[in-house]
Amino acid sequence: MLRPPASPPADPEPKTGGVQSLERAFGILEEVARHRQGISLAELAKAIGLHNSTTFHLAKTMVSLGYLRQERDTKRYHLGGMVFSLAANALNEIELVGVATPILEQIARDTGETAHFALRSGDDVVVAARALGPGAFQLVDRAGGLRPAHCTGLGKVLLAALTPEAFEAYLATAKLDPWTAKSITDPAELRADIERVRKHGVAYDDGEFDTEVRCIAVPVRDFTGRTIGSLGISGPIWRLTLQRVEEKRAILLQAADKFSSELGHPGGR
């Protein structure tokens, strides 16, 4: 007696009583995220326990929405730009300060100088968090204060992170006021200085914002590689000599790498 061919096993029902398609979509996202080299349709379907056809239609929709992307040659799936956009928008200033504070405190202990974390605010930078070092004569400026970008190490790092077009737009509108005799007020000179920061990944302020203060700053990057803030130390020029600035640079770079890794940056400068 002939028997009809066996039907393929049904896709599993959702376990939580939620919306099935949403549960499956999030399952796909989680599985794709586990495979940095990408994952094929067959591998993905097997991993989440769905038919190839069901997985294909869900993944196709997620690609169209930007939550997945598919390589043209290999057809393997990767996380899409929308995932990273959502994560970046969720990383607000309060959360960044929470991550920054213990790192700043460690920098201050290790260097003996005041440590700062800054974010861009228009043509200026805002000191979002700081920690005082144990040494005498610490800078006592408050967190939340605005500083000019063009004559501070913290600001130069953030200017260096701009695209060339965005930086030229900044130069076209920013007031390069002379805060001290050492402040850079010529656009061409600032352009050259920012190019050095881009090349070396370190910015300096040698009495440009305050004649008695010297500082060094480096970038903090998130999981996309984007510079989201700057980390720096500053101190009186009689104590933080140029030689001591270079001695402290390794400590600052190591701290910035730790900060960046906590934001999902894979490492490397």
pLDDT-derived band at 8 (thresholds 50, 70, 90) equals very low
pLDDT reported for residue 85: 66
Record the tokens describing residue 200, joined without a space: 């070396």
pLDDT in tens, 170-228: 999 999 999 999 999 999 999 999 999 999 999 999 999 999 999 999 999 988 888 99
d(CA 103, CA 205): 22
Least confident range from 62-71, 91-100, 112-121, 235-244: namely 91-100
pTM of the entire predicted model: 0.68
| Mean pLDDT, range 247-257, rounded to an integer | 95
In the structure, what pLDDT confidence band is assigned to residue 263 with cuts at 50, 70 and 90?
confident
Q: What percent of the chain is predicted at pLDDT more than 90?
A: 63
Q: Coil, strand, or helix at residue 139?
A: coil
Count the Cβ atoms, other than its own, within 10 Å of residue 181: 8
For residue 259, the model assigns a pLDDT of 93
Confidence (pLDDT) at 140: 53
Dist CA 43 CA 223 (whole Å): 26
H-helix or E-strand spanning residue 129: strand 124-131
Q: What residues does each domain of the chain span? A: 20-87, 91-262
For the structural domain made of 20-87, what CATH number should be given? Answer: 1.10.10.10
Percentages of the chain per state (helix, strand, coil), in multiples of 5: 45, 20, 40
Between the alpha carbon of residue 158 and those of residues 98, 102, 120, 218, 221, the distances in Å are: 20, 22, 7, 9, 11
pLDDT for 127-186, tens place per residue?
989 998 776 555 555 455 788 999 999 999 999 999 999 999 999 999 999 999 999 999
Q: CA of 151: how far to CAs of 81, 109, 266, in Å?
A: 35, 26, 30
| Three-class HEC string of 179-192 | CCCCCCCCHHHHHH
Is residue 2 pLDDT above 70, yes or no?
no
Mean pLDDT along residues 7-24: 62
CATH of the domain spanning 91-262, picked from 3.30.450.40, 3.40.50.300, 1.10.1660.10, 3.30.750.24? 3.30.450.40
DSSP characters over 195-244: HHHHHHS-EEEESSSSTTEEEEEEEEE-TTS-EEEEEEEEEETTTS-HHH
